Amino acid sequence: MSGADGRKSIFITGAASGIGRETALLFAKRGWFVGGYDVNADGLQALEREIGADGGRFETLDVTDPQAFAQAMGGFAEATGGTLDCLFNNAGIAGGGLLDEQPWEDVLRVVGVNFLAVMIGARAATPLLAATPGSLCLTTSSSSAIFGTAGISVYSATKHAVRGLTEALSIELKRFGVRAADLLPGLIDTPLMSDAMRAMAPPDGMWRLVAPREVAETAWRAYHEDKLHWYVPEELRDFHREVVDRPEAVREERTALLAMMAAGE
Ligand SMILES: NC(=O)c1ccc[n+]([C@@H]2O[C@H](COP(=O)([O-])OP(=O)(O)OC[C@H]3O[C@@H](n4cnc5c(N)ncnc54)[C@H](O)[C@@H]3O)[C@@H](O)[C@H]2O)c1
Determine, yes or no, domain membership for 20.
yes
Report how far residue 43's alpha carbon sits from residue 106's, in angstroms, rounded to the nearest whole number: 23
Is the distance from the beta carbon of residue 131 to the nearest atom of ligand 1 less than 6 Å?
Answer: no
Query: Distance, CA 249 to ligand 1 centroid (Å)?
Result: 30
What residues form DSSP beta bridges with 13? 37
Determine, yes or no, domain membership for 4.
no
pLDDT band at residue 1 under the 50/70/90 scheme? very low
Is the distance from the beta carbon of residue 193 to the nearest atom of ligand 1 less than 6 Å?
Answer: yes
Nearest CA to ligand 1 atom 25: 14
What Cα–Cα distance (Å) separates residue 58 from each residue in 50, 71, 132, 179? 12, 13, 21, 25
Determine, yes or no, domain membership for 209.
yes
Nearest CA to ligand 1 atom 2: 188
pLDDT tens figures, 24-77? 999 999 999 999 999 999 999 999 999 999 999 999 999 999 999 999 999 999
CATH number at residue 187: 3.40.50.720
Q: Quick one: average pLDDT of 147-159?
A: 97
For 86, phi then psi, to 5°, come to -150, 125
Query: Distance, CA 14 to ligand 1 centroid (Å)?
Result: 6
Is the distance from the beta carbon of residue 19 to the nearest atom of ligand 1 less than 6 Å?
Answer: yes
Q: Is the separation of the CB atoms in 183 and 232 below 8 Å?
A: yes
Catalytic (active-site) positions: 155
Burial class (CB in 10 A: 0-12, 13-18, 19+), 219: buried
Q: Is the separation of the CB atoms in 163 and 184 below 8 Å?
A: yes
Query: Distance, CA 36 to ligand 1 centroid (Å)?
Result: 13
Determine, yes or no, domain membership for 3.
no
Q: Can you give the residue range of the structural domain that contains 66?
A: 9-239
Determine, yes or no, domain membership for 248.
no
Residue 265: the pLDDT is 58
Determine, yes or no, domain membership for 156.
yes
Is the distance from the beta carbon of residue 40 to the nearest atom of ligand 1 less than 6 Å?
Answer: yes
Residue 64 CA: nearest ligand 1 atom is 31
Average pLDDT along the chain: 96
Is the distance from the beta carbon of residue 90 to the nearest atom of ligand 1 less than 6 Å?
Answer: yes
Cα 156 from chain centroid (whole Å) = 13
pLDDT tens figures, 157-182? 999 999 999 999 999 999 999 999 99
Residue 258: the pLDDT is 85
Query: Distance, CA 191 to ligand 1 centroid (Å)?
Result: 8
Following CA atoms 155, 157, 162, 166 in sequence, which dihedral angle do they give, to the nearest 10 degrees?
Answer: 160
Determine, yes or no, domain membership for 129.
yes
Query: Distance, CA 12 to ligand 1 centroid (Å)?
Result: 11
Q: Is the separation of the CB atoms in 37 and 11 below 8 Å?
A: yes
Determine, yes or no, domain membership for 177.
yes
Q: Is the separation of the CB atoms in 64 and 38 below 8 Å?
A: no
* pTM, two decimal places: 0.97
Sequence-ordered alpha helix ranges (H) in 52-178: 66-80, 104-111, 117-130, 153-172
What Cα–Cα distance (Å) separates residue 234 from each residue in 33, 69, 183, 186? 28, 32, 11, 9
Does residue 196 carry a pLDDT above 90? Answer: no
Q: Quick one: average pLDDT of 150-161?
A: 97
- If one counts the domains in the chain, the total is 1
